[in-house]
Structure 1
Amino acid sequence: MWDIRRLHTLRTVAARGSITAAAQSLALTAGAVSQQLSALRNEVGVDLLRPDGRTVALTEAGRVLLEHADGIFAAVHQAENAVAAVKGTVGAALTLAALPSTVARIVAPALTALGSHHPQLTVTCLVTDQAQLRELTLGTVDVVLGQRYHHLPDTAPRGIDVTPLLDDPLLVVTAADQGDERPVALRELATHNLAVPPPTTDCGQAVQHACQQAGFTPTARYLTADIAAQLTLAQAGLATALVPRTAIAPDTPGIRKVPIGDHPILRRLFAATRHTGTANPTTAAVVAALDAAARRDSTTYLP
């Protein structure tokens, strides 16, 4: 019988693109990863990887094997969840991946509530805006707090369950003395110097899409995905920023923040878990805490 750990190693190498990157992800040496791959190749009796420039790629046999491996890992997760459901208790450890812009208003309150209700649970939080759902499918994380902008199709990868949390509008942020509290028509920003994320990001694409719908191409004077930098530029009166509401601390000084009145830009926050037929009490507890924190934030916000 093939060693499932070696299958996981092959899967990780295929996803990361190189043995070195896979070794870093698995907290192993490159030599240890190579040894596991060689042992799996001997077990299977055929090459599973081939050189592809500076990276590696699956052979046809490797691709077929991984197609079946997905089902094997899904069955393992199903078995783990079934046993956890029989136990009926929240476990001791879980890894959550979350966007930096959600930490203050959603993640921190959720983890505080979990600490009160489930003190035995230790949550490791990976704060990143890169490829969270891929980490979920690889088993590196257990729950993802992710985002999808409204202009993108509402689809989830195969084997992923998504729980909607919050529709989070982008607000127009300027220096405190620039304008009143009325909603702003997006077309009014056509002459503004904007601080927005690069167009290679989901948020940057959403801003571009909405501005084009409003009839203009935005003037991006400052390109940065760093929300703290965007707010600093707005505070200084150097730029107008478009920032998700939950990414702005309510007591941030020196800024004016108002909604977009005609072409709202929404990011939809969600919690994602691996799909299994049986609910896992631990992931369910974390998703419920994130949902409660998102609802609380939504109802307490005063625009």
Structure 2
Amino acid sequence: MLDVRRLHMLTTVAARGSIAAAAQSLALTPGAVSQQLSALRREVGVELLRPDGRTVALTEAGRVLVDHAEQIFAAIREAESAVAAVKGTVGATATLAALPSTVARIVAPALHTLASRHPQLTVTCLVTDQAQLRELLLGTVDVVLGQRYHHLPEATVAGVQAYPLLDDPLLVVTAAAHPGDAPVALSDLATHRLAVPPPTTECGQAIHHACQQAGFTPTAPYVTADIAAQLTLARAGLATALIPATAIETAAPGIRTTTIADRPIRRRLFAAIRSSDTPNPTTAAVVTALRTSARRARAGQALALP
């Protein structure tokens, strides 16, 4: 019988692209992973990996085995959820991957709620904007707080169940002394010096796309994904920033926020878990807490926006 742990190592190597990267994510040594993969190769009697430049790739047999392994893992997760549902209690641990821009207004309140309602539950929070859904499918995390910008088509990911949380507009942020607080046309920002995220980020791409649709290429002497840095530049009067509303403290001093009147840039925040026919009480509790925080954040936005 095939060893499930070795199958998991194979799928992790396939996803990470190398034995070293897989070993790091599994908290093992590369030698230990190689040893287990060699044992798996002997069990099936055929090569499963081949060199591919500086990385490794699956052979045809390896792809077949990984496809079947995904079905096995799905069945195991379903069994775990079914047992948890029978128990009817929230478990002891969960791992949440969340975007840095959601920590203050959504994640932190949700963690407070969970601590109050389920004191036995310890939530490990990974603050990252890198490949969250992949980590979810690999089983590294249990819940993802992700985003999708409005200019991208809706997409579904096999094996993932997503729950909408909040439509989050980007606000125009300037120094408090900047005149005017009425909504602005996006084209008005053509003459502004902007502080924006790198074009490799989802937010940077959304801003660039919207500006092009408004007829101009943004002038951005300041390029940073660090929202604190963007706010500092705006507060100092050095730049205009475009920042998601939930990433801005409602009482942040020294800045003025306004909405975009004609071509709003929005992201949809969502909570995602691995698909299952049987709800898991632990992940359900985390998602419920995130949805509660999102409702409160939405109410706060309605009061704060001009």
Which interval holds the TM-score relative to the shorter structure? over 0.9
Total equivalences in the alignment: 303
Q: CA separation in 1, counterparts of 2:199 and 2:36?
A: 40
Secondary structure at 1:120 match in 2:
coil
- Residue 79 of structure 2: aligned partner: 79
The one-letter amino acid of 1:74's match is: A
Identity of aligned residues (%): 75
- Residue 231 of structure 2: aligned partner: 231
Q: CA separation in 2, counterparts of 1:100 and 1:194?
A: 21
> Deviations along 1:133-181, whole A, 9 cap, x unmatched?
0000000000000000001111121110000000000000011111221
Q: CA separation in 1, counterparts of 2:177 and 2:156?
A: 42
- Residue 272 of structure 1: aligned partner: 272
Q: CA separation in 2, counterparts of 1:18 and 1:246?
A: 37
Secondary structure at 2:221 match in 1:
strand
Q: CA separation in 2, counterparts of 1:153 and 1:70?
A: 26
Secondary structure at 1:220 match in 2:
coil
- Residue 28 of structure 1: aligned partner: 28
Moved more, 134-143 or 222-231: 222-231
- Residue 54 of structure 2: aligned partner: 54
Q: CA separation in 2, counterparts of 1:267 and 1:169?
A: 6
Structure 2 residue ranges without an equivalent (≥5)? none
> Deviations along 1:178-197, whole A, 9 cap, x unmatched?
12211111010000000001
Q: CA separation in 1, counterparts of 2:11 and 2:89?
A: 30
The one-letter amino acid of 1:6's match is: R
Runs of 4+ in 1 over 4 A off after TM superposition: none
Q: TM-score, normalised by structure 1?
A: 0.99
Q: CA separation in 2, counterparts of 1:233 and 1:279?
A: 45
Q: CA separation in 2, counterparts of 1:9 and 1:23?
A: 8
Give 1:300 shift.
2.2
Secondary structure at 1:257 match in 2:
strand
The one-letter amino acid of 1:11's match is: T
Q: CA separation in 1, counterparts of 2:217 and 2:128?
A: 29
The alignment's C-alpha RMSD in Å is 0.7
Q: TM-score, normalised by structure 2?
A: 0.98
The one-letter amino acid of 2:210's match is: A
- Residue 194 of structure 2: aligned partner: 194
- Residue 178 of structure 2: aligned partner: 178
- Residue 287 of structure 2: aligned partner: 287
Q: CA separation in 1, counterparts of 2:95 and 2:200?
A: 28
Matches within 5 A, 1:129-278: 129-278=129-278
Q: CA separation in 1, counterparts of 2:236 and 2:300?
A: 28
Q: Does 1:92 align with 2:92?
A: yes
The one-letter amino acid of 2:124's match is: T
Secondary structure at 2:83 match in 1:
helix
Q: CA separation in 2, counterparts of 1:28 and 1:247?
A: 36
